[in-house]
Amino acid sequence: MEGNLNMIGYGLAAIGPGVGIGLIFAAYIQGVARQPEAQGRLQTIAFIGFALAEALAIIGIALAFAL
């Protein structure tokens, strides 16, 4: 079976950001459920957190191709 070790590395590296993004949006949904008026302010913070957690997964896939 042929393949590339890079891709296995990327697959393992994507576990962390996956869990992290799930946690972030779980907190966002709970916050909006408790206080629907806060949806606008929480949405900004949720997207910032999403981009920060996603950054590691994206660095993973970019380097999996480049290295």
Partner 1 sequence: MTPIGMTLVRGEEFEPPGPSDFNLPGIGNDDTFTFLGQTMYSGITKPMLQLVLAALLVFLFFRMASGKRSMVPGRLQFVGEGMYGFVRNTLGRDVIGSQDFLRFVPLLFSLFFFILFNNIFATIPFIQFPTFSRIGYVVALALVAWLVYNGAGIQRHGFGGYLKLQTVPAGVPGYMLPLLIPLEFFSNIVVRPFTLALRLFANMFAGHLLLILFALGGEFLVLHGAALVKPVGVLTWVLFLAIAGLELLVQFLQAFIFTILTSLYISSAIAEEH
Q: Which of 34, 31, 55 is nearest to 43 (CA)?
A: 31
Residue reference for tokens 């393949």: 3
Tell me: does residue 44 bind partner 1 (CB under 8 A). yes
Q: Which stretch binds partner 1 (CB under 8 A): 13-21, 28-36, 48-56?
A: 48-56
Tell me: does residue 4 bind partner 1 (CB under 8 A). yes
Tell me: does residue 37 bind partner 1 (CB under 8 A). no
Q: Which stretch binds partner 1 (CB under 8 A): 1-9, 16-24, 28-36?
A: 1-9
User: Residue 21 contacts by C-beta under 8 Å, 6 or more apart in sequence?
Assistant: 50, 53, 54
Give alpha helix (H) positions in the chain. Answer: 5-13, 15-34, 39-66
Binding footprint of partner 1 on the chain (CB under 8 A): 1-4, 6, 44, 47-48, 51-52, 54-55, 58-59, 61-63, 65-66
